[in-house]
Structure 1
Amino acid sequence: MRRTDRLFDLIQILRDGRLHRASDISARLGVSIRTIWRDMNTLMASGLPVEGERGVGYILRAPITLPPMILNAVELEALRLGLRLATQGDDATLAKAARALAKRIAAVTPAPTKDEGDLFAFPGPTDNRAPKHLPPLRRAIKAHERVTITYIDQRGTESHRDIRPLALEKHAQVSTLAAYCEARGDFRSFRVDRIVAVTATGERFPDEPGRSLSDYRARMDSETIRDQG
């Protein structure tokens, strides 16, 4: 039995909330008592609420499982995004736990068709019009569909742009849209709260070299993409 499988079985045994002796567990799993001692130390060090010691036994003091749940596609995407944000946070312990949980969820759920981190942004206090535009922008990014946006820059000038939406990002309290602007022939970054309207064109765009999200990211690493205010 692999150690990861054995640790999982240990947790299942402890779930009943009773005191279990290492000798009983070792006989049940077919391993030595010393192996159980080491595994219990591993579970304790991982932060699980397991208490006990050699010669006494081990007990799980708090529930660590959730009841079975059925998630729809949007709920699953929200869960994945929340974990992604946690992995990028400043709390190293929380980030490590989020990465571990994300792997466990990935093992039992369908693979995402696209990296959700490229699809989502969270509206904050300063995002005035942003929330209502996030769903159609997410759909367009997923579908690789060109859209036309009506945009007001920081000077108050209104313009209409035909763009290839590539990713939604979050900077402090402002959501931004990374895009390839057809008219400018270059990448642009738009503040979502300054988008007045989003119109779907029904036209899909290919993943062309020099105009893709990976190209945008490469440019971001080497220089600043022009911010449209």
Structure 2
Amino acid sequence: MCGLLVERAEELARLYAEHGNWNEVKEIWFDERLSNRSTRGSSQKIYRVLTSRFKNAPTALPNPSILPTIFDECQTTRDKAQILYLYLVSDDSLVRYVVHKYVARLAEGKPDPLNFSNETLVNILTQLKYSDGDSFDYAESTTERWCEGFRSVMREIGVLDGQQSVVGASPSIGDISLLVAMDYSYESDGDEWLTAPRGLLYLFQPENRWGELFDRVASTNAWEYVELQGALDVRPSDQPYSWVHDRGEN
């Protein structure tokens, strides 16, 4: 899984924004890694995993070429991590399955819904059925590593606090990661997005927080409240991610 690797992901995005060609990015990446005496094997794994997330990202997420402008506006590393996390969930079907299960636990009001202990994670994983009928069947040691990797991601996005904690809480969301999560939600689900905003759900925001988050984005130039059929709706002021280009020109 490799985690989010914020610094390396940001470096790859900046190289892609500069060169616009993944072949050139790959060549520069490995030249720099080898000159810094990194092993080619570890560099290949990191490059393969991170570029897969960028290359396979749905159009609802920002094109990697504009990520550097977005990152320049982020206040904290956590903000960047929350954005990169959306690419991970989109690219990794096992992570997405587990995240959906935790979203459901949160919506159903389960006790300690964001409990990421090995016991809870393994219980979720053993419920998984693949399309060919097979079940989840990792070796115990591999499963333990996967669980620790998943918790590491939860720490990076602010769900877990500290290295030892396994029970988390809904994280606070920075202004820029909130804008990305909202645009992603709007682009993903069309007219139905308001009843289940994907970006907010993936970041484990309970429904009773949505109104506050809608107010926050509506206070920016990027989103606004509009009246539709007698009810207030919140929509992008222009096309999703238009605010990125506006910031890049300032």
Smaller-chain TM-score bracket: under 0.3
Structure with the higher strand share, 1 or 2: 1
Task: From the CA coordinates, give the structure whose radius of gyration is larger.
Answer: 1
Which protein is richer in helix relative to its size? 2
- Which structure is richer in relative contact order (CA contacts within 8 A, separation 6 or more)? 2
Scaled by the length of structure 2, what TM-score is found?
0.26
